Amino acid sequence: MTNNSPNTSTLTISPLVTNKRSRDYFQTPPNLLGQHGIGQQPQPHSRVFSSPNVGKSVNSKLSTLASKDDDDEVPLTQADKLRLWRHDALMQHHYNTAIYIGDKVLSLTNDPNDAFWLAQVHYANGNYQIARDLLAGPNFEESVSCRYLAGLCLIKLEKYDEALDVVGEVNPFKTDHSVKNADGGIKLEASMCYLRGLTYSKQNNFDRAKECYKEAVLVDVKCFEAFNELINNHLMSPDEEWELLSVLNFDDADNNNELVKLLYTTRLNKYKNVQSFEEAEQRLKDEYNLDENLDILLSRADLLFIQCRFQQCLDLCEKIIQRDELNLSVLPNYLSCLHELGGKNRLFLMAHKLAENYPNHHITWLAIGIYYFSIKKTNEARVFFSRASMINPNFGPAWIGFSHTFAAEGEHEQAISAYATASRLFPGIHLPNLFLGMQYLQMNNLTLSHEYLMSSYSICPTDPLLLNELGVLFYRRTQLAKAEMYFQKALTAATALDSNAKAWSSIHCNLGHVYRRLNMLDKSLSHFNKVLRISRKDVNIYSAIGLLHLKMGKISKAIETLHIALSIQPNDPIALDLLNKGLESNLHISNKKFLDEAVSQKAVLQTPINKPTRHLKFIGEDNKRDLDLIAEDLKRGEDSSDDDDEVMEIESE
């Protein structure tokens, strides 16, 4: 028979599919050849061992064979035995044998199925053009399986327009997706949809690619290739991913429907519905004994990375690597965690190992790029990130790393262009929009910064870095209540992650500035002191605390604190300015005290016949009025205006 139904798989034409074989099983009935073109729709319902338009006599014969006793053996024909020889040679990678025998089988039968399997041998051997030419025969083009393999060959040959001509720009079958595949394989219709999506992706038409991938997995939930492309390449937003999961027909997987649904759930974006992921993960461990399965561990590593638990994520990645030394799927998270935690030596070793084993793989170029970026060689890093993105344009980490190299050098326009490309290519991750917002914030374009940061927030509302940037944005807009809200959210998120306190000290610092501007000095001082407990070498923190003490009238403490700041950085202009104000204030207080004592002794200073001296001059009296103004200003908090906010510059990561 030929495989002319989109609702069957290639299992129906495999010589190894069953222990019971008939003479007619591998043959194409004459009345099938040339009946169905690509634009025509075959009958959707077909049995495993029959084709939709097999004549009544053939159906009758197959029914008779199926009704025989299970112990009856149908003798194999000469062609059947040659097919088994060819197939076993293919399975054992004896390609020359499989080609030699397969060619003889095809000459004997001229059957599209034999053309398909011979082309499979050529495809497995890398002979894509030979396979394509073989499948171009007029007797073979009507076979769905042959068209599928021909399209696959054309993609390998980078003839994308011709591939679309073969598989169709849209689904030519449009069959009822509820029709089950009785043979247990992947519907060829789904495979054709996947191939169509792959072709559009190669042409950088990612919107059409996404729709084709979605159609493939809707046609047959077992088409994991299409599902994997959607998830790995972040082609859908988190909401779209969970919505797709809710409409998939898992009955296609028969009694494995629950298992497949749980597995797919663990692959979805971890920004939302974390509880659903954890429930699915736990069931896979308890009911299916998959607690040590690498894919389940990889899903957990993805969650830890999104939650910024870099050390825990790194530990889990290393556990995976110990079991599978060159597991490429775990490497993006592993390399990123090493960068975050400063593991330069291990980055170097992994990059070196990948270069030895996978010299032309995009992961290798990413690893080398991250290593150079970690040692501050941004130009070299840019070259390797660029190479990785050219090898695989769908690889998000390479695009983001490439953009980072411009941002690190303050080249905002180039960074924005690169981040914008990443945002367009990967709508399912929040990082490109976050970094775009940060770039515009540095350029003081608060309107665009707000737009991109809120877009990122709609995808991932729990990222402490994003929440901190939103707080900075509203601080710049002098919307202090909103700034306080986002900084508090960032602090809560960071605390919930149980991450390294040093990484989030800037949130305490920023809250200190907000409370300073709100004149809530005690709260402000509390947050700055928390920063000091983490790091005692930040001149800006000591300067901010010094300013707070000046505002609170604690001049001696202010002077002491500002001296510490200058011991860290002797030429810091803000600390010097604040120290001068503190010393002037201290001098004014001393002079005022001296003046009060002098007034109390005015009787001693007067003579019986003269009026009190009107022009009695004291040290510093010329500056008395200025010092009074400074003291009043400090009490009113006017020194927290923009003039002094250079010192207290709020921290954006």
Tokens of 107: 């000459």
Residue 332 has pLDDT above 90, yes or no: yes
pLDDT at 142: 83
pLDDT digits (tens, 9 = 90+) for 381-428: 999 999 999 998 888 899 999 999 999 998 999 999 999 999 988 888
Enter the DSSP assignment of 650: P
**Which pTM value belongs to this model?**
0.76
For 59-114, the DSSP string reads HHHHHHHHTS-TT--PPPPHHHHHHHHHHHHHHTT-HHHHHHHHHHHHHHH--HHH
Comparing 496 with 427, which gets the higher pLDDT?
A: 427
Question: pLDDT class for 287, splitting at 50, 70, 90?
Answer: very high
**What share of the chain has pLDDT > 70, as a percent?**
78
- The answer to whether residue 40 sits within a structural domain is yes
**Band of pLDDT at residue 609, cut at 50, 70 and 90:** very low
Dmax (CA) for the chain in angstroms is 147
Q: Which residues, in sequence order, are CB contacts of 592 under 8 Å at separation 6+? A: none
Pull the structure tokens for residue 513.
């500035």
Number of H helices, E strands in the chain: 32, 0
SS3 547: helix
510 in any annotated domain: no
Q: 540-595 pLDDT, tens per residue?
A: 888 888 888 888 888 888 888 888 888 888 888 888 888 888 888 777 665 555 44
CATH number reported for the structural domain that contains residue 83 in this entry = 1.25.40.10
Does residue 29 form part of some domain? yes
Distance of CA 494 to the CA centre of its chain: 20
Q: Quote the domain boundaries for residue 163.
A: 10-185
The pLDDT assigned to 596 comes to: 53
Rg of the Cα atoms in the chain = 36
Q: Of 13-17, 55-59, 433-437, give the lowest mean pLDDT range.
A: 55-59
Q: Do the Cβ atoms of 131 and 137 come closer than 8 Å?
A: no
For residues 521 and 513, what is the distance between their CA atoms, to the nearest angstrom? 10
User: 428 and 234 in contact (C-beta within 8 Å)?
Assistant: yes
What DSSP character marks residue 621? G
Both structure tokens of 415: 């960074």
Cβ proximity of 2 and 113 under 8 Å = yes
Q: Is residue 26 part of a domain?
A: yes
Instruction: Output the pLDDT for position 641.
Output: 37
Question: What six digits make up the tokens of 508?
Answer: 């305490």
Rounded to an integer, the average pLDDT of 299-310 is 89
Environment class of 297 (CB within 10 Å of its CB; exposed 0-12, middle 13-18, buried 19+): buried
Would you say residue 334 lies in a domain?
A: no
- Number of domains into which the chain is organized: 1
**Region 59-71 average pLDDT:** 41
Three-state SS letters, 492-516: HHHHHHCCCHHHHHHHHHHHHHHHH
Phi, psi angle pair for 35, to nearest 5°:
-90, -25
Higher pLDDT, 57 or 633: 633
200 found inside a domain: no
Asked if 381 and 408 touch (Cβ cutoff 8 Å), the reply is no
Q: pLDDT tens digit string along 71-83?
A: 456 688 899 999 9
Residues 6 or more apart in contact with residue 157 via CB below 8 angstroms? 128, 129, 132
Is 122 part of a structural domain of the chain? yes
Assess if residue 24 is contained within a domain.
yes
Question: Is residue 46 scored above 60 in pLDDT?
Answer: no
Instruction: Please identify which residue in the block is written with the tokens 């169709």.
Output: 168
- The tens digit of pLDDT for each residue in 169-197 reads 988 887 666 677 777 889 999 999 999 99
Provide the mean pLDDT of the chain.
80
The pLDDT of residue 309: 85
Burial class (CB in 10 A: 0-12, 13-18, 19+), 8: buried
